[in-house]
Structure 1
Amino acid sequence: MSRKRKQKKTLEELLAEALVPEAEQPYELPENWVWVRLGSVFERINENVMPSLNQKYIGLEHLSKNGGLEGIGKAEGLKSSKTPFKNGDVLYGKLRPYLNKHVAIQFDGVASTDILVFRQKIDELGIFLDKYFGLPYVMEYAMSNSKGINLPRVSPKVMESLPFPLPPLSEQKRIVDRVESLLGKIDEAKELIQEARDSFEQRRAAILDQAFRGELTRTWREQHPDVEPADRLLERIREEKASLETRKGGRRKKATNLPPIDPPYELPQGWKWVRLGEVTVINPGKPRNLEYTDDNICSFVPMAVVDDFTGSISVLEERPFGEVKKGYTYFEENDVLFAKITPCMENGKVAVAKGLTNKFGFGTTEFHIIRCSHLNIHPKLVYHLVRSDFFRKQAKAVMTGAVGQQRVPKHFLESYPFPLPPFDEQEEVVKVVDDLLMHEYETYTTLEIEGHLNSLTQSILTQAFRGELGTHDPTEESALELLKRTLAEQNGLAYESPATEELRVAEQGELYLT
C-alpha cells in the first residue's frame, strides 16, 4: 500500500507560520514593517561536515563579546565534525548567550557546533540580522530561553522562533548604511579609549613587575635593616600548616616532589623564592562542621560581579544557604578568588573576598580559591601576583580542556614560583602598589566615556529597529509583500504582487466593457 503523499502548504499557511502573533510582538513597528519569525527569512544550516586541512575555522574564542571577529583559526588538527558556513552568513554563539557573540562573516569556512549559522533568504539581510543581534532585547530573549546553570545554551529552535522586525527591502539598506555610519564614529572613539587602556595596562604591568622584584620598597628596606627574613616566615608557615592538619585529625599530606625553583631573577636580601602552594592553601573546601540553617542568608559571588578592570566585587549578592551549600565554591573572608576559565582569567577577574555575611560565602565553580591570611601572607600581595600580566600569560599557556572552556589547573597555582618578601615588608609592598594603582585609576578618566558610548550604541540600534533613525518611507511597498514573495519563491508557489493583481483586474474590466 503506497504512502499518502504529503500535501504542499499553501502560501497562506506558510504566512501564518512566519508571522508573529500580535500578542507576542515586542513593540509596535512602522505601518509597512512586519514582525516575522527569524526562521522564515533565514535558513539555519543544520549540517555537520569533517573539515579539510585548508579551511578556516571559527570557534567561540574567535567571536568578540557584543559582536565582531577577533581571530580566525585553522581547521588543521580538528578531529570532530563542524558546521560549514559561507560568505554572507551570520554566526551566533549559542553557548553563554550573555556574551552576545555574533558576526556577519565575509569568507567561507567551518564553525564550532556551539555556533549557529544563519543564511539569508533575502539578499543583504545578513548584515541587518547581525546588527539586530546587538539589541539588549535579543540577549534577554536568548538568556530567558536558555538552559543550564554554569554553561547556559540557547537552542536552535528557540533562535529560529525569535521575533524579527522586517522592513521593506530599500529601507533595510538605508538602515544598515545609517547604523554603520553612526557606529563607525563610536568605534573610532573606542579605539582611542583602547589605546589609553593599553597604555594603562602597560603601566600597571610595569608597577607589578617592579613590586615583585623588590624595587618599589628598596628605600623601605634601607630604613628597616633588622626585619625578620622570609626564611623564618617560611618555617612558621610550614609549622602552622602541619598544626592545622593535626587539628583536623588527618594525616599530614605527603609533600609533592617538585624540582628546585630556577630563579627567574635575583631577589633582594631577605626575600625567598617559594612555591605558591607552600605558603597558601589552594581550594581549601568547606568545613565539615559548618552550622547554618537552610533559610539563613549568606553571601554569593557570581562571575559577572567581579569587575575585570578594577579587580573588585561590584556587589555582594545574598542567597539562602540551602540554595548554595551544594554545587558552588565555598570561600571565607580575605580569600583570593581567581577566575580559572577562559576568557575571564585572561581578562583579570580576580578579587579579595571582603564584607561577607558571617565571614563566608559561595560563588561559581569557575573560581580557584587561594587562602593565605591565616598563614601570615597578605591576601592583597597574592591578589596582585595572580592578577599581574606576567602571571596570567603563563597561566594561559598551561590551560587545559575543550576549546572555549579551557581552565587553569590547580597544580599550576600550587607550583608557581612566588617571590616571598619578609612579613613586615609585605604590607609595605601592598601599600605602595595600591597607592600607585589608585593614582592610575583616578587619572584614567577616559574609561568613564566607554559606558556612555556603549549606551549610545544600544540607543542607536534600538531606534534603528523601530524605524526611528530617519530612514522610514511610508510610501514604500510593505514588507509583508516581500515576505510573501520570499515564501513563494522558496516553496515553488505562485505569487502575484498587488500591482500585478490591480493591472489584471483592470484589464479584465476593460475586456468586459468591450
Structure 2
Amino acid sequence: MSKNKGKTAEELLQEALVPEEEQPYSIPENWVWVKLGFLITVKSGEALTKKQMIDGPYPVYGGNGVNGFHKENNISETSIIVGRVGFNCGSVHLSENYAWVTDNAFIVNFDKNKLNINYLYWLLKNLNLGQYSNSTAQPVISGKTIYPIKFPLPPLNEQERIAIKVEELLNKINQAKQLIKEAQETFELRRAAILDKAFRGELTKNWREQHGIGIDSWVKSTLQEHISYLGDGIHGTPKYSDTGDFYFINGNNFDGFSIVLKPDTKRVNEEEYKKHKKNLSNQTVFVSINGTLGKTALYNDEPVILGKSACYFNVLDTLDKHFTRYYLETQEFKDYANLMATGSTIKNLSLKAMRTLPLQIPSLSEQQEIVRILDNLFAKEQNAKEMCDVINNIELMTNQVLAIAFKGNLGTNNPAEDGIVVKLE
C-alpha cells in the first residue's frame, strides 16, 4: 500500500494505474489496469488454536479454508478470506455471513462502491496468490507481496455481470466433472464385475458347451506349478547414469499392460545393466509387490533392470500370460494380496505368497477364449473411458473461463459504461 498522506488525487491515481508498457494484455477501453493494493487491504484474523475452539455454529477459517467450528464469530458478513500461512497460503475462500477467521488467514477489505465481492473473489483465485509466498519451510504471503499485483478493473456493473457469467459457466463445468466421475466409477465397477465372471467361468459357459466340457475341467493349482522362474529386482540402488541407455524401474512403472518409461525414470549404463539384468522373456509377467500392490505389465523387450517392488515370473506353456495378467486385476487377487501382505504403512507381498497363489486353471484353449472375450469387451469399455479421460481435461476449462473473463471476452461488457477511474476522478 502506498502512503497516501499529503498526496493529491492525481498523484494517487497515477500510483494506482499500471503504465501502458507494463500492462500484461489488452482489455476493453472502459476497463483499467490497476495495482491490487489500490483497491484492497488485508488484515490477519485472530489467534484461535484447535484446543481453544469450543464447538458451535460458526465455521473457523484458517490457512486452507474451514478447519473447525467455534461458538463465537469475529466477522459478521460474507467476506473474502485468503490463506496467509502454510502450504496452501494464497488459497481464496468466500466465507459465510458469520464466521471466525484465525491469524493464519487474511480478511480482505475493499470499497463495495468500486468492487463487486464475487468478481473480486474470482479475480483473486485467478491470480494464484500462492506464487507470491516466500520460499521458506513455512510459506507466507503478506500485503507487501500482493499489493503490487496488476489486475484488470472493469466498471462495477460489468464486474457483477462477469461474476454471474463465470459462476454459471463453472457450475456447468462442475456438473460435467461430476457426471464424468460417476461414469469412471461405473467403468471400474463394471470392469471388476466382468473379470469376476470371467474367472468363475461364466463368460465361457457357451464355449464349454460347444466343446463338450464342463466347469469341472478347471483345475485347482498354484502359480508355482505353471512358471519356470519367479523373482524380484535388486534391493539396493544401482549406479545411475544420466546418459545411460537402460532404465531402472519399479512397480510404479507398470500401467496394466506394459512398462511406462517416464521422463524421471532413472537410467543406468550397459555395465550396470549387465550386472543386474534378469532372465526376462516374451513370457514374462510383472506385478508390483511393494507399496501399491497388484500393478501389472507384460515384458516387451524394454531395456530395463528391476527394483525390489517389481516381481516378475515367466509362465510355462500351460498358462497364457494375458490370462494371468487379467487374473492379477481381479478383486480375488487383490483380496489375497492384502491378506498375505506384511507391513501397515508400506505393504509388502512376499515371493513365497506369489508362488503359492491359488489358481483355478482352465485348459489353455479356454484361457485364450477368455482373453479374447475380455479383450473385446474391454476395447469397447476403453473407448468410452478414453472419451471420459479426454473430457476429464475439463479441469483446464476452469482456468480458461477465468482467463477469458478477465480479458473482457465473455461478451458481457457495455462500452458505454464509465470505468472506475472516471468515478475516482
1:295 pairs with 2:236: no
The CA distance in 2 between the partners of 1:234 and 1:240, in whole Å, is: 8
The CA distance in 1 between the partners of 2:118 and 2:257, in whole Å, is: 36
Contact 2:290 2:348 in 1 (8 A): no
**Alignment-derived partner of residue 442 in structure 1:** 383
Contact 2:196 2:330 in 1 (8 A): no
Contact 1:212 1:419 in 2 (8 A): no
1:363-382 equivalence runs, <5 A: 369-373=309-313, 380-381=325-326
**Alignment-derived partner of residue 200 in structure 1:** 187
Cα distance, 1:192–1:128 mapped onto 2, change above 3 Å? same
**Alignment-derived partner of residue 37 in structure 1:** 36
**Alignment-derived partner of residue 276 in structure 2:** none
What amino acid does structure 2 have at the position aligned with 1:411?
K
C-alpha displacement at 1:163, in angstroms? 3.7
CA-atom RMSD, angstroms? Answer: 6.1
Of 5, 13, 16 in structure 2, the residue corresponding to residue 10 of structure 1 is: 5
Deviations 1:48-85 (A, max 9, x none): 4224233546899x99xxxxxxxx87559xxxxxx999
**Alignment-derived partner of residue 508 in structure 1:** none
C-alpha displacement at 1:369, in angstroms? 3.9
The CA distance in 1 between the partners of 2:395 and 2:257, in whole Å, is: 21
Identity %: 24
**Alignment-derived partner of residue 420 in structure 2:** 479
1:317 pairs with 2:263: yes
Contact 2:18 2:150 in 1 (8 A): yes
Cα distance, 1:428–1:59 mapped onto 2, change above 3 Å? farther
3-state DSSP of counterpart to 2:329: helix
Cα distance, 1:314–1:176 mapped onto 2, change above 3 Å? farther
The CA distance in 1 between the partners of 2:263 and 2:300, in whole Å, is: 11
1:164 pairs with 2:158: no
Deviations 1:91-112 (A, max 9, x none): 5697489xx9765344655799
**Alignment-derived partner of residue 469 in structure 1:** 410
Cα distance, 1:437–1:144 mapped onto 2, change above 3 Å? farther
C-alpha displacement at 1:27, in angstroms? 1.9
What amino acid does structure 2 have at the position aligned with 1:50?
T
What amino acid does structure 1 have at the position aligned with 2:141?
P
**Alignment-derived partner of residue 122 in structure 2:** 131
**Alignment-derived partner of residue 27 in structure 1:** 25
**Alignment-derived partner of residue 68 in structure 1:** none
Of 86, 94, 112 in structure 2, the residue corresponding to residue 104 of structure 1 is: 94
1:359 pairs with 2:275: no
**Normalising to structure 1: TM-score of the pair?**
0.51
1:173 pairs with 2:160: yes
1:89 pairs with 2:84: no
Contact 1:119 1:126 in 2 (8 A): no
**Alignment-derived partner of residue 272 in structure 1:** none
Cα distance, 1:213–1:23 mapped onto 2, change above 3 Å? farther
The CA distance in 2 between the partners of 1:213 and 1:381, in whole Å, is: 13
The CA distance in 2 between the partners of 1:104 and 1:40, in whole Å, is: 18
Contact 2:61 2:81 in 1 (8 A): no
Cα distance, 1:227–1:449 mapped onto 2, change above 3 Å? closer
Cα distance, 1:313–1:452 mapped onto 2, change above 3 Å? same
C-alpha displacement at 1:212, in angstroms? 5.9
The CA distance in 2 between the partners of 1:303 and 1:431, in whole Å, is: 26
The CA distance in 2 between the partners of 1:356 and 1:86, in whole Å, is: 64
Deviations 1:457-481 (A, max 9, x none): 5443222101122333445444357
What amino acid does structure 1 have at the position aligned with 2:304?
K
**Normalising to structure 2: TM-score of the pair?**
0.59
What amino acid does structure 2 have at the position aligned with 1:10?
K
Question: How many equivalent pairs are there?
Answer: 377
Cα distance, 1:163–1:351 mapped onto 2, change above 3 Å? farther
Deviations 1:10-54 (A, max 9, x none): 375987886666666432333432232379625264654224233
The CA distance in 2 between the partners of 1:109 and 1:235, in whole Å, is: 66
The CA distance in 1 between the partners of 2:44 and 2:258, in whole Å, is: 42
**Alignment-derived partner of residue 277 in structure 1:** none
Deviations 1:359-409 (A, max 9, x none): 2589xxxxx9452445888773476248x9x969x99xxxx9xxxxxxx82
The CA distance in 1 between the partners of 2:289 and 2:20, in whole Å, is: 47
The CA distance in 1 between the partners of 2:140 and 2:404, in whole Å, is: 28
Deviations 1:137-162 (A, max 9, x none): x56x85798969xxx99652566665
5+ long unaligned stretches in structure 2? 273-279
What amino acid does structure 2 have at the position aligned with 1:317?
P
Of 345, 353, 358 in structure 2, the residue corresponding to residue 409 of structure 1 is: 345
Of residues 293-302 and 195-204 in structure 1, the stretch that sits farther from structure 2 once superposed is: 293-302
What amino acid does structure 1 have at the position aligned with 2:244?
N
3-state DSSP of counterpart to 1:384: coil
5+ long unaligned stretches in structure 1? 1-6, 64-71, 77-82, 245-280, 326-331, 363-367, 401-407, 483-496, 499-514
